[in-house]
Amino acid sequence: MQVLETLYQNDISRISIDRRNGVIMNAWLRPVEHDEMVVTADRINQFLRETESDKLLLSALLIGKLLPETKEWLSTTYYKSLSELGIKKLARVLPDNVFNRLTFESVITRAEAMGTVNFEVRNFSTDKAALLWLLEDTL
């Protein structure tokens, strides 16, 4: 049985951990500004370092659209930082809106083309499906 323990929560996001399986999960709770995304991402990375977790679930169902500067930062900086932290698997739960979904997909495609992603990435429609994929090697 999976147990998620909340590490941090505010009006922007909830960061949780499954310590047994080394999974950090961030669920965005509303649309965010660029600075809010960066601060939250730094906090996620801090928890990844402290717990030595190697699997990350980013649930963006409620995030809305990404701002241009956020797209640039994600593709050039954030995904590179995840590689440096030793992430093995990244599950992304993407918004239902087709335009927003395509935006998220283009960001990771660009990061992969730049050679900064050295972990497995998959996109999902639900948190449950994403977690099942992250845990498939541990079940």
- Residues 31-90 pLDDT 10s: 999 999 999 999 999 999 999 999 999 999 999 889 999 999 999 999 999 999 999 999
Q: What is the pLDDT of residues 5-41, one digit of tens each?
A: 999 999 999 999 999 999 999 999 999 999 999 999 9
How many separate domains does the chain show?
Answer: 1
Residue 83 maps to which CATH number? 3.30.750.24
Q: State which residues form the domain around 39.
A: 5-135
Cα–Cα nearest to 121, from 74, 63, 65: 74
pLDDT in tens, 88-103: 999 999 998 999 999 9
Query: What order do you get walking across the sheet with 13-18 strand by strand?
Result: 5-9, 13-18, 23-28, 55-59, 89-93, 120-124
